[in-house]
Chains A and B, each alone.
Chain A
């Protein structure tokens, strides 16, 4: 049969497959490659950049966002979005500060319980109520921020953490790394194993890839969708608590816009915003990239934080353009 003229809807040729594989790898590891380049360039350009203390700083600054972004990755992999994480992060911080009166257990468990509950509520509305994730979590973003202000007398109070064990959780560490960094690494490792080899994560990918197919295959679509929002809530709460421990206080205004940074990191990391494909190594690279860009701009000294925002924005736009091109090459 002479199908030589059939346009590209047919079976892929070897050449196409190779090209698609390369495109797929660039999409997957592109953030890590760019990160490597930036580290090299930055090291040559600024003598103060490649120091141990600066790298430790970058790691600490990244750790909070990274934990949030891990949860966000799972949500985005299902094709959803969680806009509430910034507010939940602040809530986690406040609750950790209040909970620290019961020691380290209170400082960790109270935020996890309440933020997990926020995730449960949002997850129920989205997975079982069939509501749009964007709207439900937008309501979360507004409502939880309101709750944070209500808990802190319109934001006038900044509850402090006096328990030494709790502040040690933020500021202490091992092997020269602060605990938040260690915990973030543990979260990424656990998340990666689950994502690669866990059964539920197959359903996560299936939902993002084609929700109707997942339903027709009898997969537990609602249960898994529900779970990712709970995980996201827990991650945001944990990150908020660690940040509070690190700064010895629950600041009501932290985490404004954090959800956007998390989404940006996830997308830069190669996860498709439509879901179905992505990994946590990419997300980690995405988070580090955002932090390193900020750090490099700080190295220049004369530039303000607004420059950093502009550069990050341009960077994100470029990434999205490249991703679109790569997706087309792979006929996604």
Chain B
């Protein structure tokens, strides 16, 4: 595949020359040149706010560029709306599957272009046959009469891809397509991407996951502050160099910082603030015990389905327990009640920020004080002054970047939204902070800030439990790591044992030595 580029480079399918886009005086894109050739897979990289999504929206006809020109197969082109881009052969696969869950696989693939019989009525038999054979070309075998929602997310994404390609797409743009997929599903996706490329279809791939980028992309375009700062082959760049390009810092500086921004970590001392014993729930977790001391970060390791999120949910009172007890500062906490957990000082930052965390249309202020409102109220009235004081403290302390506390949260970047969420829980004066994937889906810079913040909070004596699917984050961020497997505690890593090697070994179980699987394979399964 890589030879394709170096030898006779195929003609560009899609080009942008000097494209600029300005929103209310702020330049989101400036003089962007972008070239995509047939069969190429290009990684579009950049921090949040670098202009990636704006560029994608320009390429797919959601936005019209203010300046510059786009070319399709060498001809000047412009798309007034997304449908125009689709008709021109540019399809987009979004982070969330954009199909109709209630309709069948076949209906979804052929929506808007259903095969019809001579009476003008839809020929469902032909539609199903066509859908089946279309999917079969990508080695996907599924009952096309099943409603889409009954399929796993990865399979749904595959159906979306099949639909996109069957509309004679020449370019497929994928915006974080794997963010909700399991490792195995990612594999299938990559296989299909490979097949598409061999058919001469060009892929634009956007992802925060470096592993994926290096696994399937051939070339890279790096955006920073709305400009292209790098264009070239991905093989010529190391990860550190790529991160340095995205951040606009020197390679040395990035290296010195390690992969994560965690500082020194230490085990907590004294009596545990939170003691969990024998936490069990049918089919999910069984007999989990944990002790968390003030001032320490305890990592909770485990593969998908190992019960790590469920354990957090159990401790935060979100999930009802069949058995087990939770004690905070020696006092027993009623299970299955979020209010009781919060009252005891246990709060959780949920995994899915958008669905379970922020209220997008409320302001930063309202989002921060939301959970604390009962404490700030007297006889049903809340004190605005008290609210402002709290909001002010946390916005400064967590360095939340926003125009004002009144800005609507949905306008903030992912990293700042996450900080708002953390602020909401810190405002409750918690003793134990449960973090589920605190840095997922936020850009490199914000990630570092959140990691540094976790450090700081632990130093101030907060007890923290950290769940992350990134091994480095767990290893560098935690003083000790409790590894879960199949819903129970597999082992605990402390001190010098806290390394990626040991963690991986524990993740897959001891009777299954890490030599059987390469580290990359294990990482895939996270």
Chain A interface (Cβ within 8 Å of chain B)? 1-7, 9-12, 17, 20, 193, 197-199, 202-203, 205-206, 208-210, 212-220, 276-277, 331-332
Contact = CB atoms under 8 A, between A and B. Distances in A.
Most buried by B among A199, A215, A219: A199
Contact of B101 (A3, A193, A203, A209): A209
Most buried by A among B111, B121, B303, B487: B111
A11 B487 contact: no
15 contacts: A1-B184, A1-B525, A2-B486, A4-B486, A5-B283, A5-B486, A10-B152, A17-B150, A202-B122, A205-B103, A209-B101, A210-B99, A212-B98, A216-B92, A276-B102
A276 B148 CA distance: 13
Given A1-B184, A202-B107, A276-B103, 14 more contacts: A3-B304, A11-B150, A12-B150, A17-B150, A197-B124, A199-B114, A203-B112, A209-B100, A209-B102, A210-B98, A213-B98, A216-B98, A217-B111, A332-B149
Contacts of A205: 100, 102-103, 107
Contact of B82 (A17, A203, A216): A216
A205 B111 CA distance: 10
Given A1-B525, A2-B486, A198 B284 contact: no
A11 B152 contact: yes
B83 A213 contact: no
Contacts of A218: 82-83, 86-87, 112
B100 A276 contact: yes
Interface string B52-87: 000000000000000000000000000000110011
A12 B153 CA distance: 11
A5 B112 contact: no
B307 interface: yes
B314 to A, nearest CB: 13
B98 A5 contact: no
Most buried by A among B100, B146, B183, B310: B100
Contacts of A219: 111-112
A192 to B, nearest CB: 12
Most buried by A among B83, B120, B184, B486: B83
Contacts of B82: 215-216, 218
Given A11-B151, A209-B103, A216-B82, A202 B111 contact: yes
Most buried by B among A5, A17, A206, A212: A5
Nearest to B146: A17
Contacts of B495: none
A200 to B, nearest CB: 10
B22 to A, nearest CB: 25
B230 interface: no
Which 7 A/B pairs are nearest by Cβ-Cβ distance? A209-B100, A197-B121, A218-B83, A11-B152, A6-B305, A209-B102, A276-B102
A214 B111 CA distance: 9
Contacts of A193: 121
Contacts of B146: 17
Contact of A199 (B98, B122, B149, B163): B122
B149 A331 contact: yes
Contacts of B487: 5
Contacts of B124: 197
B249 interface: no
B399 interface: no
B486 A213 contact: no
A5 B306 contact: yes
Interface in B274-301: 283-284
A205 to B, nearest CB: 6
Given A1-B184, A209-B100, A11 B112 contact: no
A50 B111 CA distance: 46
A193 B120 CA distance: 11
Nearest to B508: A2
Contacts of A20: 150
Nearest to B487: A5
Nearest to B100: A209
A181 B310 CA distance: 57
Nearest to B152: A11
Interface in B118-175: 120-122, 124, 146, 149-153, 155, 163
Nearest to A220: B112
B332 interface: no
Interface in B472-526: 486-487, 525
A26 to B, nearest CB: 16
B116 interface: yes
B100 A210 contact: yes
Contacts of B305: 2-6
A198 B121 contact: yes
A16 B498 CA distance: 41
Nearest to B62: A216
Nearest to A274: B102
B525 A206 contact: no
Interface in B20-72: none
